[in-house]
Amino acid sequence: MYHGFSRTIIVHWHARSGSNAAIHPAQPLFPIDALRNSTAWYILAAVGYAAGMSRLRNYRPMGNALMTVAGAYAALLLVLYFGQNSLLYLPDIPSRELVASPADIGLSHEEVRLETADGVGLHGWYLPAPAARGTLLFFHGNAGNISHRLDSLRIFHRLGLNVLIVDYRGYGRSEGKPSEEGTQQDALAAWNHLVTVRGEAPERIVLFGRSLGAALAAWLAARERPGALILESAFISVPELAGELYWWLPARRLARLQYDTREYLAGVQCPVLVVHSPQDEIIPYHHGLALYHAAHTPKTLLELRGDHNTGFLLSGAAYVQGIDAFLSAHLSPAVP
């Protein structure tokens, strides 16, 4: 099952804008200090170093070895900088095809078709629960699609929640190609469907995000006013995680994709549940702790056991009871 982050996607970069200040006679004509703070500095430095190594051709074998290493490093920076979207978004792992449906586990559901503000068609499922205590809007991780989340759908159904789960653009049967801004538009379209089309009261909507989806849930919670927010196996931000996992690359400076969960939490006013495992091998536990400390009160920390993708299953009753207690304490009751 693919519930959260894949190991292959963590290196991302952010292009920094230069200065618009006027050039005075005392200033250098070319703003080298600004360049040093830009993504171009690292790429140009690596490429320049590789070119310089070509002068060592006459000093074989050391010259050839150094030139090969420098060239490979420069090529890696170029590939990762220009190809980061394809490294983050993994709709084809294990498959873009939907391999199952809620009916396969005995749950009734409706096929849902949405259109985003920028005209992209999305596909999802709506699963009603009898005498529902609220509605959960589910944002999944970066790999796979909604059909790989049936275990979670079963759990939330047993907790008495209606569930809307939607595939991001480029995932499953949804149209388009994923991007950071695009996935945010997808999250907003799903929210609008619940509030506008289905008439759900915002205070009875729970935003749930796992891994990459947690950043989207936090972004949406800062923009709207849901009843509660659940962040499971979440990261502080993509650049922060990249810098830790790939210390040998200037990942923080080069990051273009942000998904800054901690920054979003500053604008979240609803109760927050942070769920994380100390054994998470992809997103370290201290990310969950940092997000818990960043959240406003009321907030709760639920510790899982097990790895990134299956910790919620291995934790069993502790996971279900923890979410149940959080919902009971903070979710508004239905209005008769």
- Catalytic positions are 211, 280, 308
Judged on CB neighbours under 10 Å (0-12, 13-18, 19+), 41 is middle
Strand segments (E) across the chain? 110-115, 121-127, 134-139, 161-166, 205-210, 228-232, 272-276, 299-303
| Of 299, 301, 303, 300, nearest in space to 319 by CA | 303
Judged on CB neighbours under 10 Å (0-12, 13-18, 19+), 83 is exposed
Run of H or E including 183:
helix 180-192
169 vs 214: CA distance, rounded Å: 17
63 vs 314: CA distance, rounded Å: 52
Tokens representing residue 166 in the block: 């939607």
Q: Do residues 11 and 87 make contact, with C-beta atoms less than 8 angstroms apart?
A: yes
268 vs 221: CA distance, rounded Å: 6
DSSP state of 189: H
User: Tokens 């942070």 identify what position?
Assistant: 274
Spatial CB neighbours of 300, under 8 Å, sequence gap ≥ 6: 271, 272, 273, 274, 322, 326
DSSP state of 17: P
User: What are the two backbone dihedrals, phi and then psi, of residue 202, each rounded to the nearest 5 degrees?
Assistant: -55, -35
User: Tokens 């190991």 identify what position?
Assistant: 7
Run of H or E including 70:
helix 62-82
